[in-house]
Amino acid sequence: MIVVQKYGGTSVGSIDKIKTVAKRVAQRKEKGDGVVVVVSAMGKTTDQLIGMAKELSDIPKRRELDMLMSTGEQVSISLLSIALNEIGYESISLTGFQAGIETDGYHTKGKIQDIDIEKVKKYLDEGKIVVVAGFQGMNGNGDIMTLGRGGSDTTAVALAAKLECVCEIYTDVDGIYTIDPRLFPTARKLDCISYEEMMEMASLGAGVMETRAVEIGQKFNVPIYVALSNEEWPGTYIKEFDATMESKVITGLSASDKDLMVTINHVPYNSKNISKVFGALAKKDINVDMISQTAPSHGKVNVSFTAPKTDEDIILNIMESLKNEFEDIETDIERDITKLSVVGIGMRSQSGVAAKTFEILAENDIGFKQVTTSEIRISYTIDTKDTTRAVEAIAREFNL
C-alpha cells in the first residue's frame, strides 16, 4: 500500500517539529507502506520571502516571485529528508520539477497539468521515503511556477491521484468543523463531509483545505483524511456523498474576510460592455466570485463583484485601463467586507433555508450587499463588523 502524507508549514516550523514529523513518517513506513511526503515551507517563510521582495519593489515580477517563493519548500524537504536518513530511514527529497509536476497558467497561481510519476515510483520501489516539495512545479518554458494558496494540498492530492492511493493531510487543526472554532468556540467537528460540500466551504475561505485539491480528490475519487499533525486524535474524511449526509440540512457555515468588493459605477448599459469588464479580469486570471448589477438607469448600470484582496493591485490597473474606454466610470473598493455562507447538501431536498437566513439577518439588524446561491450554498456579503453577530445567530439557529 502507498500513502501520500502532507504536512503544513506550522507542522515543520522548527527543527524540533521536523524531527517529530520524521518520527511520525517513520512509524508509517514501519507498517510496510510506501510513503510519499509533501511538505510546505517552514512556518511563515513564504510570507517573509514575499516581504523581502516587497521591500525591493511594490509590484515585483511574478516570475521572480515564483523563483523566490519556491525556495521555502526546498528548505523543508531537504531538512526532513536529512532527519529521516539520520534516524535510519532511507529518504530522498525532490523539488516539484524533479517529481515530474508539470504546470501551466499564470505565475504565482499555476495549475497542475500533469505529473510524470515514474521517478517517484522508482524511488518507492527502491524502498525510499520520497519527500516532495509542495506548492510548485515547472511550466512548458522550464520556469518554476508556484500553485497559489493551498498549493501543497493540491500537490499532495494530485500525487495521490496518480499513485491511486489515499491522501492524508496533517495540519495544526484536528479536522474539519461546522464553523471555524475561532469564530464559534462550540462548533462541532465533522466525522465526514462530501467532496461537494468541502469544495464549497474551501472556495468560501475555509482555510483547512484548498478548492482545487478537493476537486482533484472528487474527480479521481481520492479519499482525503484531514487530522492533527502532532496527536493521534480522529480527524475528518472527505469522501463521496452518501445518504446519511443528507439528514442535516446545513453542514457548515463559512465566514471569509479575504475578498474585497469592487463596484464600477456608470457603465454604459450594453451586454458587450459588461463582457469587456469581466473579460479583462479573466485575462489576468482574477477569480471573480459574487456578481451583482443594478437595473439600468439613464442608460447606465452599476456592477459589483468580489475578488481576492491579494489581487487588488492587478484589479486597480485593470480599472484604470477601462477608463480609457468608459470615461464616466467610477470605481469604489470596499475592503471591510465578509463573505458569509451556509453550506449543506441537504438543501437539495429540504426547503426554507434561504427564508430562515434572511429572517435571522433581519432580526439581528444585519444588512447585506450581495446574495448568491447554488444548489447547496447561500452566500451573503456583509460588513466585517457584523461577522461575529451573524455567525453566532446562524450557528445557534441551525445547531452548528
Instruction: Find out whether 334 and 307 touch, Cβ atoms under 8 Å.
Output: no
Give first-to-last CA distance, the chain, whole Å.
Answer: 37
Domain assignment of residue 226, yes or no: no
Which cell numbers in the block locate residue 33?
507502506
Confirm whether 278 is domain-assigned. Answer: yes
| Mean predicted lDDT score pLDDT of the chain | 88
CATH number at residue 18: 3.40.1160.10
Task: Please tell me the distance from the alpha carbon of residue 320 to that of residue 341, in angstroms, as a whole number.
Answer: 31
User: Considering the domain boundaries, does residue 162 fall inside one?
Assistant: yes
pLDDT digits (tens, 9 = 90+) for 135-154: 999 999 999 999 987 889 99
- Residue 14 in any domain: the answer is yes
Cross-strand partners of 380: 340, 371
Write the CATH number for 270.
Answer: 3.30.70.260
Q: For residues 371 and 379, give the distance between their C-alpha atoms in angstroms, rounded to a whole number.
A: 6
- Written as one string, the DSSP assignment of 289-351 is --EEEPPPBTTEEEEEEEEEGGGHHHHHHHHHHHHTT-TT-EEEEE-SEEEEEEE-GGGGT--
Contacts of 122 (CB under 8 A, 6+ apart): none
Q: What's the pLDDT score for residue 398?
A: 83
- Rounded to an integer, the average pLDDT of 54-75 is 94
For residue 272, being part of any structural domain is answered with yes
Same domain, 165 and 49: yes
Judging by beta carbons within 10 Å of its beta carbon (0-12, 13-18, 19+), is residue 306 exposed, middle or buried? buried
Three-class SS state of 31:
coil
Name the residue type at position 288.
V
Domain that holds residue 62: 2-172
pLDDT in tens, 289-341: 888 888 888 888 888 888 888 888 888 888 888 888 787 888 888 889 888 88
Q: Is residue 22 part of a domain?
A: yes
Domain endpoint, select from 334, 351, 386: 334
**End-of-domain residue from the set 154, 172, 190:** 172
Confidence at residue 243, expressed as pLDDT on a 0 to 100 scale: 58
Question: How many domains are contained in the chain?
Answer: 2
- Number of Cβ atoms within 10 Å of the Cβ of 213: 28
